[in-house]
Amino acid sequence: MAAIPDHDVVHGADHAHDHPPTGLMRWLTTTNHKDIGTLYLWFSFIMFLTGGVMALTIRAELFQPGIQIVNPEFFNQLTTMHGLVMVFGAIMPAFVGFANWQIPMMIGAPDMAFARMNNWSFWLLPPAALLLITSFFAPGGAAAGGWTFYPPLSVQMGIGMDMMIFAIHILGASSILGSINIITTILNMRAPGMTLMKMPMFVWTWLITAYLLVLVMPVLAGVVTMLLTDRNFGTNFFNAAGGGDPVMFQHIFWFFGHPEVYIMILPSFGIVSEVIPTFSRKPLFGYSSMVYATASIAILSCIVWAHHMFTAGMPVVGQLFFMYGTMLIAVPTGVKVFNWTATMWRGSMTFETPMLFSIGFIFLFVIGGFSGVVCAIVPIDVQVQDTYYVIAHFHYVLVSGSLFAIFAGAYYWLPKWTGHMYDETLGKWHFWLSMFFFNLTFFVQHFLGLAGMPRRIPDYALQFADFNMISSIGAFGFGMTQLLFLYVVLKCIRGGAKAPQKPWEGAKTLEWTLPSPAPYHTFETPPIVK
Q: For this structure, is 175 an active site residue?
A: yes
pLDDT at 21: 83
Q: For this structure, is 307 an active site residue?
A: yes
Lowest average pLDDT, out of 14-18, 401-405, 429-433, 524-528, goes to 524-528
pLDDT at 165: 94
Domain count, the chain: 1
Residue from 33, 59, 307, 446 carrying the catalytic annotation: 307
Residue 428 lies in a domain: no
Residue from 82, 282, 420, 446 carrying the catalytic annotation: 82
Report the alpha-carbon distance of residue 284 to residue 96 in Å, rounded: 23
Report the alpha-carbon distance of residue 96 to residue 102 in Å, rounded: 10
pLDDT at 513: 38
**% of the chain with per-residue pLDDT over 90:** 83
Report the alpha-carbon distance of residue 143 to residue 454 in Å, rounded: 17
Residue from 33, 258, 393, 420 carrying the catalytic annotation: 258
Q: For this structure, is 446 an active site residue?
A: no
Report the alpha-carbon distance of residue 248 to residue 240 in Å, rounded: 11
Report the alpha-carbon distance of residue 412 to residue 353 in Å, rounded: 8
pLDDT at 520: 42
Residue 373 lies in a domain: no
Report yes or no: 60 and 142 within 8 Å, Cβ to Cβ: no
Residue 22 lies in a domain: no
**How many residues belong to the chain?**
530
Q: For this structure, is 123 an active site residue?
A: no
Is 80 exceeded by the pLDDT of residue 461? yes
Residue 55 lies in a domain: yes
Residue from 101, 262, 388, 422 carrying the catalytic annotation: 262
Q: How confident is the model at residue 7 (pLDDT cuts 50, 70, 90)?
A: very low
Residue 233 lies in a domain: no
Alpha carbon separation from 423 to 352, 373, 458, 499 (Å, rounded): 11, 39, 40, 12
Mean confidence (pLDDT) of the chain: 90
pLDDT at 34: 95
Q: In the predicted model, what is the mean pLDDT of residues 104-112?
A: 95
Q: How confident is the model at residue 407 (pLDDT cuts 50, 70, 90)?
A: very high
Is 60 exceeded by the pLDDT of residue 8? no
Q: For this structure, is 481 an active site residue?
A: no
Q: For this structure, is 260 an active site residue?
A: yes
- Where residue 174 falls (left for φ over 0; alpha for ψ -120 to 50; beta otherwise) is alpha
Residue from 455, 456, 491, 508 carrying the catalytic annotation: 455
Residue from 282, 308, 393, 420 carrying the catalytic annotation: 308
Residue 16 lies in a domain: no
pLDDT at 225: 97
> Can you give the three-state secondary structure of 4-17, one letter per residue?
CCCHHHHHHHHHHH
Q: Bigger pLDDT: 21 or 318?
A: 318
Residue 210 lies in a domain: no
pLDDT at 17: 53
Q: In the predicted model, what is the mean pLDDT of residues 54-70?
A: 95
Is 70 exceeded by the pLDDT of residue 519? no
**% of the chain with per-residue pLDDT over 70:** 91
Residue from 27, 111, 184, 428 carrying the catalytic annotation: 111
Q: For this structure, is 336 an active site residue?
A: yes
Q: How confident is the model at residue 9 (pLDDT cuts 50, 70, 90)?
A: very low
In 3D space, the residue among 393, 172, 207, 209 whose CA is nearest the CA of residue 301 turns out to be 209
Q: For this structure, is 460 an active site residue?
A: no
Positive or negative torsion for Cα 300, 305, 310, 313? negative
Report the alpha-carbon distance of residue 370 to residue 347 in Å, rounded: 27
pLDDT at 18: 64
Residue from 260, 352, 381, 511 carrying the catalytic annotation: 260
Q: In the predicted model, what is the mean pLDDT of residues 127-142?
A: 89
Q: For this structure, is 273 an active site residue?
A: yes
Is 80 exceeded by the pLDDT of residue 510? no
Residue from 273, 280, 296, 400 carrying the catalytic annotation: 273
Lowest average pLDDT, out of 5-14, 85-94, 179-188, 464-473, goes to 5-14
What are 454's strand-pairing partners? 387
Q: How confident is the model at residue 12 (pLDDT cuts 50, 70, 90)?
A: very low
Q: In the predicted model, what is the mean pLDDT of residues 217-226?
A: 97
**98: domain range?**
29-199
pLDDT at 11: 43
Lowest average pLDDT, out of 142-151, 235-244, 320-329, 455-464, goes to 142-151
Residue from 44, 79, 174, 400 carrying the catalytic annotation: 174
pLDDT digits (tens, 9 = 90+) for 237-288: 999 999 999 999 999 999 999 999 999 999 999 999 999 999 999 999 999 9
Strand boundaries in 293-398, DSSP class E: none
Lowest average pLDDT, out of 44-53, 79-88, 141-150, goes to 141-150
Q: In the predicted model, what is the mean pLDDT of residues 171-175?
A: 96
Is 50 exceeded by the pLDDT of residue 528? no
Q: For this structure, is 174 an active site residue?
A: yes
Q: In the predicted model, what is the mean pLDDT of residues 500-510?
A: 66
Is 70 exceeded by the pLDDT of residue 361? yes
Residue 52 lies in a domain: yes
Angle made by CA atoms 460, 462, 466, in degrees to the nearest 5 = 100
Is 80 exceeded by the pLDDT of residue 38? yes
Helix 353-376 and helix 266-280, axial crossing angle in degrees, nearest 10: 140
Is 60 exceeded by the pLDDT of residue 529? no
Q: Does residue 415 have a cis bond before it (omega within 30 degrees)?
A: no
